[in-house]
Amino acid sequence: MLLRSVPEQVLADGIEAEVEYTVQDFGKAAAPGSFFDFAPLHLVTTATLAGAPAARYRPNLVLETDGEPFAENDWVGRELTVGADLRLRLIAASPRCAVPTLAHGELPADPEALRRPARLNRVVPLPGMDPLPCLGVYAQILAPGTVEAGDEVELH
């Protein structure tokens, strides 16, 4: 939960003043005591990345696929097993903000990092939201496990 001071009151009364605040819930799919913007894991397929460096989007898991880009959209609501133990519930398409367009370490700024999903994959991430540029899906951990490169992945 984030308590955010009302900016107009801070500007009017000063940073030391007692002001009203708004409350915003974060990480509803996260385990108690942990913090994530929305969910503990973000995963994306190599087909969706289409050659873009995964580091630009900061996923926790990259699944190698030969299928269509943005196939992950159709996985929402299903479960995924990775390796012997990790079991995930795929809960929402992952909306993308401007952060992937910024320079990341050795990666230069790249406006196409947001333009591509904005052009090719505007979807409604959650009921009640407007269509947004999305890339990958968010996942909730149902059963923890160790993941190694080359592990089998099964969609249920």
Q: Where are the domains of the chain?
A: 1-37, 39-148
CB within 8 Å of 98: residues ≥ 6 apart: 114
Amino acid at the residue 118: A
Extract the tokens encoding 106: 């050795």
pLDDT, the chain, mean = 85
pLDDT given for residue 40 in this prediction: 84
The whole-angstrom separation of Cα 37 and Cα 6 is 21
Q: How far apart are CA 77 and CA 98, in angstroms?
A: 26
**Which residues lie closer than 8 Å to 148 by C-beta, 6 or more apart?**
83
What does the pLDDT read at residue 1? 53
Asked if pLDDT for residue 56 goes beyond 80, the answer is: yes
Q: What's the rounded mean pLDDT across residues 126-140?
A: 90
What is the spatial distance between Cα 72 and Cα 78, in angstroms, rounded to a whole number? Answer: 10
Instruction: Report CA Rg, the chain.
Output: 18
CA quadruple 113, 116, 121, 122: dihedral sign: positive
Q: Hey, which residues does 89 pair with through a beta bridge?
A: 79, 140
For residues 57 and 97, the model is more confident at 57
Question: Per-residue pLDDT averaged across 106-120, rounded?
Answer: 91
Handedness of CA 8, 12, 13, 14 (dihedral sign): positive
Q: Is the pLDDT of residue 96 over 80?
A: yes
Q: Find the mean pLDDT for residues 66-89.
A: 96
Confidence label for 89 from pLDDT (cuts 50, 70 and 90): very high
More confident residue, 6 or 42: 42
Whole-number Å distance between alpha carbons of 63 and 153 = 8
pLDDT at residue 85, as a whole number:
95
pLDDT above 90: residue 99: no
Q: Are 109 and 99 in contact (CB under 8 A)?
A: no
25 or 77, greater pLDDT: 77
Q: Where is pLDDT greater, at 23 or 89?
A: 89
Q: Which residues contact 46 (CB under 8 A, 6 or more apart)?
A: 62, 63, 64, 65
The per-residue pLDDT for 97 is 81
- The 10s digit of each residue's pLDDT in 30-46 is 556 655 566 789 999 99
Task: Give the CA diameter of the chain.
Answer: 58
